[in-house]
Structure 1
Amino acid sequence: MSTDSLAAVEPADTATNPLHQQVYRTLREQLIIGNFPPGKSMSLRGISDMLGVGVMPCREAIRRLAAENALEVQQNRRVCVPHLTVARFEELMSARLALEPLCARRALPFVDGDRLERMIAHDETMNRNYKTGSADIYMLANYNFHFELYRAGNSDVLVPLLESVWVQFGPFMRTIYDVVEGAEIIDKHKMAIEAIRRNDADSLRTAIEADILDGMYLLRHTLGLGAN
């Protein structure tokens, strides 16, 4: 899927879930799974038509995402993903390396059997869609795996910060899907799952860090960002 076929907003009770919030969440998910290709711009009207909503709730959602640096409104009022400079790439990845292992360690005592089973299911979904299935499903399952873990800690600070980081780099991580087939990478998700089973916080931190570093390596070389 790409911005040529954004998922329509699912109807919901607007009394408890305002339409602009529904649009915001839909666009946020589309960014996380990489359905806004870097370098491609769209009009506000084009986005609202694809989502099946009016311009006003779409404008409000885009305003919020622009404030999060996930989208950029150009002078001609078209919307695009901000350019990924080397400096921005390094900041986003440094934020992941600082926040995600911490969030995982804090969450570990609260991961029960049901949550672990959901994490395993997300990882299995990724494996089924590894190069032979749907990139959308693969990307969403990867997000769900990580945040199934992070949300266990019930942090009102760390999780929103991480979501803001993920929504910014999602469009670029999507490019990795096309190159992972030839990459020799150990499944760090399985390492994380085993660490959770052993209640081993240090090994869990190591697995999460290694998973992020794998993505950094592939993204750096796929986009030609060089190395520091």
Structure 2
Amino acid sequence: MADNLPPFKTQQERVYFQLREAILCGRFVPGRAVTLRGIADMLDVSPMPVREALRRLTAENALTLQDNRRVAVPQMTADKLAQIVEARVALETQAALRALPHMTEQHLQHLITLDDQVTEAIKVQDAEAYIRTNLEFHASMYRCGPNDVLMPLIESLWLQSAPFMRLVLNRIGLGYITDRHVQATDAIASRDALALKLAIASDIREGIGALGQEELEAALSGED
């Protein structure tokens, strides 16, 4: 996702996007608190821009404030995860359909290149690279269309689910993942709106949905 970051006008903006990227890549563990001072030291900045970035990320439901100096990625529950998955399906299929008429051959080739990177990440079992390139594939597709309202909602859901996804992938590996991106790019090439909608819905649901119930419960509880 880093390639699409806007140029930074202020230090506060830079810190916000650095933390946002870290959350999206799953570098913060759900339920584990971090301090404002610790983040400031990590980024080599004063606490002030960190405080503002944490305020924004808390408003986006990416973090929860535990006290004045500690924040954490929220713990995941089965019910919350189910809601996130269905909300993603609803919003992202709509975003894909809105983007489809605006996609050019150049856009399609970029998506195919990104999917190659997703495939490579799965092959080498690189969880962070998989999450990053998978989200970039989806973001690049949706940004082709007039989705200014939908994208912040979608990205909020990514921020809430990505740390948990990283936890799951670190625990069980990437072997269970079914990549539906080829179906999506084929649908784009043929301008098949229904096929694209089905591919995006399947890609989202099968990411977590392919887990067995026992594996899902173990990941949610933090058991080995």
Aligned twin of 1:73? 65
Task: Map Cα deviations across residues 171-226 of structure 1 (whole Å, 9 max, x no partner).
Answer: 0111343335442x54201110110010100000000000111023146744416x
Contact 1:189 1:211 in 2 (8 A): yes
In structure 1, the residue matched to 2:13 is 21
Separation (CA, whole Å) in 1 of partners of 2:202 and 2:11:
39
Structure 2 equivalent of residue 103 of structure 1:
95
Task: Tell whether the 8 Å contact from 2:178 to 2:206 is kept in structure 1 after alignment.
Answer: no
Between 1:131-140 and 1:120-129, the stretch displaced more is 131-140
Matched, 1:116 2:108: yes
Bigger mean CA offset, 86-95 vs 157-166? 86-95
**Which residue number corresponds to residue 160 of structure 2?**
168
1:4 is matched with which residue?
none
Unaligned 5+ runs, structure 2: none
Does 2:163 align with 1:196? no
Match of 1:34, SS? coil
- 1:41 is aligned to 2:43: no
Q: CA deviation at 1:87?
A: 2.8
RMSD over equivalenced CA pairs, Å? 2.3
1:86 maps onto 2:82 in alignment:
no
Secondary structure in 2 aligned to 1:152?
coil
TM-score (norm 2): 0.87
Q: TM-score when scaled to structure 1?
A: 0.85
Q: Secondary structure at the match of 1:160?
A: helix
Letter in 2 for 1:96: R
SS of match in other structure, 1:130: helix
Query: In the superposition, relative to structure 1, how do residues 58 and 220 fare at CA in structure 2: closer, same or farther (>3 Å)?
Result: farther
Matched, 1:52 2:52: no
Letter of the 1:93 counterpart: V
Q: Secondary structure at the match of 1:73?
A: strand
The superposition leaves residues 51-75 of structure 1 with CA deviations (integer Å, 9 ceiling, x where unpaired) of 1221100110001111111101213
The 1:174/1:13 distance shift into structure 2, 3 A limit, reads closer
Whether the 8 Å contact between 1:66 and 1:73 is mirrored in structure 2 is yes
Distance change >3 Å, CA 220–CA 66, structure 1 → 2: farther
Preserved CA contact (<8 Å) 1:108 1:201: yes
**Which amino acid counterpart does residue 152 of structure 1 have in structure 2?**
C
- May I ask how many residue pairs the two structures share in their alignment? 214
Change (3 A) 1:198 1:157: same
Measure how far apart 1:113 and its partner are.
1.3
| Percent identical residues | 43
Give the superposition deviation at 1:13: 7.2
CA contact (8 A) 2:24 2:132 kept: yes
